[in-house]
Amino acid sequence: MTVRRCGVSRQAWYEKQKRSQKADLKSAMVLAEVRRLRLDLPSVGAEILHHQLTDFRQQHGIKLGRDKFAKLLRDNGLLIRRRTRRAKTTWSNHPFRKYPNLVKGKKVDAPNQLWVSDITYLPLPRGFAYLSLITDAYSRKIVGWKLHPTLEMEGPLSALKMALKANKTWQHLIHHSDRGVQYCCHAYTGLLRKNKIAISMTEQGDPYENALAERVNRTIKPGRRCGGYVAEPGLY
């Protein structure tokens, strides 16, 4: 079968082959330069590499956008997946008493019947900061908070003291949290008992058992969209 019978002139076919070979050559040049850079910078990502290759691409007349560059690296096994920095905020392997879950199926029909507590991390240029929150389950109001540079007990304890200072009256108030050492330590549970607040904790460290606190955390994380939360009125 001739080239003409395929509906393409011989000249057009050869031109297409030439362009394809030229593109393959330029891709090979880019890949070779990437491998050279990776000798000194083995973990550098595609976005930084694309920027570093700006002069190289201009010098050789290579037009290659960031997305196509990333695809070229991916197709050739050179794309490095970046690990998301995460901080572990809950350590439940400790000797302090762990309390039972008192809020399963509990109806909440007024403020100051159930407070839920949690700690979330905020990524910084160097390390993390840790935000302790106490949220009223009925009003969804944050009644206590503290931003602390470490995961030590002082952060959650300060948030609890703020909540207690701002809310003077309650009856049958339950404080619910995970089983982290910060919430199980004597200083924290002692302050709850002193104020006649019942102590409730997740049973298996399951975040869904502390769902409201987890949702509040997600709405305040930088770079995250605030998702709506719809619940049956008065039901936690």
Q: How confident is the model at residue 6 (pLDDT cuts 50, 70, 90)?
A: low
Same domain (yes/no): 137, 66:
no
Q: How confident is the model at residue 234 (pLDDT cuts 50, 70, 90)?
A: very low
pLDDT at 217 over 70: no
Same domain (yes/no): 122, 208:
yes
Q: What is the mean pLDDT of residues 194-223?
A: 64
Is residue 101 domain-resident?
Answer: no
Is residue 8 domain-resident?
Answer: yes
Is residue 105 domain-resident?
Answer: no
Same domain (yes/no): 128, 207:
yes
Is residue 94 domain-resident?
Answer: no
Q: Which residues contact 209 (CB under 8 A, 6 or more apart)?
A: 101, 104, 178, 202, 203
Last residue within a domain, chosen from 22, 50, 75: 75
| Residue 192 lies in domain | 114-220
CATH of the domain at 179: 3.30.420.10
Is residue 67 domain-resident?
Answer: yes
Same domain (yes/no): 211, 127:
yes
pLDDT at 156 over 90: yes
Same domain (yes/no): 166, 216:
yes
Is residue 139 domain-resident?
Answer: yes
The overall average pLDDT reported for the chain is 77
Same domain (yes/no): 68, 156:
no
Q: How confident is the model at residue 85 (pLDDT cuts 50, 70, 90)?
A: low
Same domain (yes/no): 161, 215:
yes
Last residue within a domain, chosen from 46, 75, 104: 75
Q: How confident is the model at residue 56 (pLDDT cuts 50, 70, 90)?
A: confident
Is residue 188 domain-resident?
Answer: yes
Same domain (yes/no): 125, 213:
yes
Q: What is the mean pLDDT of residues 220-225?
A: 43
User: Residue 224: what pLDDT?
Assistant: 39
User: Residue 49: what pLDDT?
Assistant: 83
Tens of pLDDT, residues 100-119: 999 888 888 999 999 999 98
Is residue 82 domain-resident?
Answer: no
- Name which residue leads in pLDDT, 66 or 208: 66
Same domain (yes/no): 128, 216:
yes
Tens of pLDDT, residues 18-40: 556 666 788 888 888 888 887 77
- Name which residue leads in pLDDT, 58 or 226: 58
- Name which residue leads in pLDDT, 165 or 64: 165
Last residue within a domain, chosen from 47, 75, 103: 75
Question: How many structural domains are present in the chain?
Answer: 2
User: Residue 207: what pLDDT?
Assistant: 45
Q: What is the mean pLDDT of residues 133-139?
A: 92
3-state secondary structure the chain: CCCHHHCCCHHHHHHHHHHHHHHHHHHHHHHHHHHHHHHHCCCCCHHHHHHHCHHHHHHCCCCCCHHHHHHHHHHCCCCCCCCCCCCCCCCCCCCCCCCCCCCCCCECCCCCCEEEEEEEEEECCCCEEEEEEEEECCCCCEEEEEEECCCCCHHHHHHHHHHHHHCCCCCCCEEEECCCHHHHCHHHHHHHHHCCCEEEECCCCCHHHHHHHHHHHHHHCCCCCCCCCCCCCCEC
Same domain (yes/no): 120, 30:
no
Same domain (yes/no): 63, 144:
no
